[in-house]
Structure 1
Amino acid sequence: MSSRIVRTVADLRVALAPLRGEAIGFVPTMGALHEGHLSLLRAARSENATVVLSIFVNPTQFGEAADLAAYPRTEEADVALAEEAGIDLVFAPSPAEMYPAGFATTVSVGGAITDTLEGAFRGRSHFDGVATVVAKLLLAVQPDRAYFGAKDAQQVVVVRRMVSDLGIPVEIVARPTSRDHDGLARSSRNTRLSADERAVAAVIPRSLRAAQDAFASGIRDPNRLASVVRDELTTERLEPEYVEIVDAGSLEPIAEIGAPALLVLAVRVGQVRLIDNVILGVDDLISTTGSLP
């Protein structure tokens, strides 16, 4: 099939008007599609009559200009891959369409879910940028369901809080983290790794697996489990920006794991910053994150 590409919110609404009444699924992306994105598109295809993909590299969620400039932009290839997954419509706006002259509104989600982890290291403006652009995209598409990957676990928590607080009528669907053959979480940033760096990065899922094994052996102390992860990372001389174990819903620190807990980390491999996570304390990880191989 050949997907229609629209560039403005006005054209998007015209295109979607005759399709309303049946379920619309929406997958927001910044492009550079990989198997993780495609798994979201396939899930949306199986559960909705219409599937919309957005491609927009959102400048307001990048703290470093160099990171924004380096982000891959591959729209033609992205559309071809998305068509194979069966999408119906591509929304690919310009920055000026999303943030026109005089734009002065920011959606800001407060509390531990934005102040910690990525918010602490990337700055509060990161999640302000995420919440603002996701709110704008959801209001533009007005989908029944929107699909996100669980690799960005904190982002999912933030988006769910924002949708609940603002009363946006959409179901936020988190799908399992998509992983490569060696367990590394798929990410558009992985393409920036050299062959040697890619081999080193495989220690990240190994460290998470080591923590899962320690948890299965009966260890419930978050500090001990975080040390297991750090020790594994040091085998490849990687120093993480953070390794934290927090409540899976509130992202608040916990003293001992009772309820499901999120083990999340961020680490730089060369110049590439990678994040990953697993859930500890539940058997079924489908709704939250993908289990490691």
Structure 2
Amino acid sequence: MKVLTTVKALQHQLKQPDKSPVGLVPTMGALHEGHLSLMKNAAADCPVIVVSIYVNPTQFNDKDDLRNYPRNLEKDLGMLATVLREDDIVFTPDDKEIYPQKDTRVFDFGNLDKVMEALHRPGHFNGVAQVVSRLFEIVKPDMAYFGIKDFQQVAVVRELVRQSGSGIRIVPNPIVREADGLAMSSRNQLLDPARRKEAPVIYRTISAASRMLRKNDIPEIKDFVKKEIERSGNFVLEYFEIVDDIELIPLKRKTEMKDSSKYYGCIAVRAGRIRLIDNIRVLLV
């Protein structure tokens, strides 16, 4: 693999023959097996993939969250060396490479930027759109790979591509979980031992909620989720919503569900200063 830090060096490398299609895997580092699964899937589709490692400041509405976000480039590169091929590229730019000038663009994603994560992290998805669109401009990928754990982010990026007309294919990848069911996340390593031990309650609860939908209505299910998550006092529920997979409109009653749509139960939990998110497909039958 080649480790490059500048836009110029990256674009020069991508001009070489036999570099198409190009796959992009955007990350903020602090890599785990979930990230590696993205890269393996990308490598199966593309003769060359670009893995970006960049902690994007414009998507953090909490300065403490930005400051505390785990960073260990040496460890990340060691993990990447186990899955990337000779021609694959790791792109590790600094702020000036990504934003040579202040990015003042404001995006309009309609309802996608008005619910769930957007309510609790104002400006987050505008920052995501800024950095993703910039990476698309730099790399010009044919395909880009994202984990479905960040369910709302995938919907936003798809809308970004639709608005831009770039034709980039967004490839969502399944959630990768720890042995105890906790969705893999770079933030898991920030949990204290007690909360980490209890964190599998998140997946257990949304799994139970998905089964409840067959006999219970959404208000009852939301009450159940809140009680289960907050039972021990170690976690606070920020939201649990059942939404469609296109517009992400939260449902109030299960009678609103349509046979032609797919629905997901999406959750965000606060463990002290750490936020954890997860989701699960839900079915009426």
2:111 paired with 1:109: no
Match of 2:280 in 1: 278
Normalising to structure 1: TM-score of the pair?
A: 0.90
2:206 paired with 1:204: no
Match of 2:228 in 1: 232
The code of the aligned residue for 1:133 comes to: V
Match of 2:79 in 1: 81
- CA distance in structure 1 between the aligned counterparts of 2:158 and 2:3, rounded to whole angstroms: 28
Q: Deviations over 1:27-69 (max 9, x none)?
A: 0000010010001011111111111100000000011111101
2:184 paired with 1:191: no
Alignment of 1:42-53 (within 5 A): 42-53=40-51
CA contact (8 A) 2:31 2:186 kept: yes
Match of 1:219 in 2: 215
Secondary structure of 1:151 counterpart: coil
CA contact (8 A) 1:30 1:54 kept: yes
Match of 1:291 in 2: none
CA contact (8 A) 2:242 2:266 kept: yes
- Change in Cα spacing, 1:55 to 1:21, as seen in structure 2 (3 Å) is closer
The runs of 4+ residues in structure 1 deviating greater than 4 Å are: none
Q: CA deviation at 1:221?
A: 2.5
Q: CA deviation at 1:144?
A: 1.2
- Change in Cα spacing, 1:19 to 1:153, as seen in structure 2 (3 Å) is farther
- CA distance in structure 2 between the aligned counterparts of 1:94 and 1:262, rounded to whole angstroms: 36
The code of the aligned residue for 2:224 comes to: V
CA contact (8 A) 2:21 2:141 kept: yes
Match of 1:72 in 2: 70
The code of the aligned residue for 1:271 comes to: R
Q: CA deviation at 1:205?
A: 0.6
CA contact (8 A) 1:200 1:269 kept: no
The code of the aligned residue for 1:268 comes to: R
Q: Select which of 246, 249, 265 maps to 1:249.
A: 246
Q: CA deviation at 1:282?
A: 8.5
The code of the aligned residue for 1:243 comes to: F
Alignment of 1:68-217 (within 5 A): 68-87=66-85, 88-100=88-100, 102-123=101-122, 125-215=123-213
CA contact (8 A) 1:247 1:260 kept: yes
Q: Deviations over 1:226-259 (max 9, x none)?
A: 2232222133333301111112211112232333
CA contact (8 A) 1:19 1:50 kept: no
Q: CA deviation at 1:220?
A: 5.9
- CA distance in structure 1 between the aligned counterparts of 2:6 and 2:264, rounded to whole angstroms: 38
CA contact (8 A) 1:206 1:232 kept: no
Count of aligned positions: 277
Unaligned runs of 5+ in 1: 284-293
Q: Deviations over 1:61-86 (max 9, x none)?
A: 01111110111111111112112112
- CA distance in structure 2 between the aligned counterparts of 1:282 and 1:93, rounded to whole angstroms: 46
- CA distance in structure 2 between the aligned counterparts of 1:268 and 1:39, rounded to whole angstroms: 26
Secondary structure of 1:241 counterpart: strand
Normalising to structure 2: TM-score of the pair?
A: 0.92
Q: Which moved more, 1:6-15 or 1:258-267?
A: 258-267
Unaligned runs of 5+ in 2: none
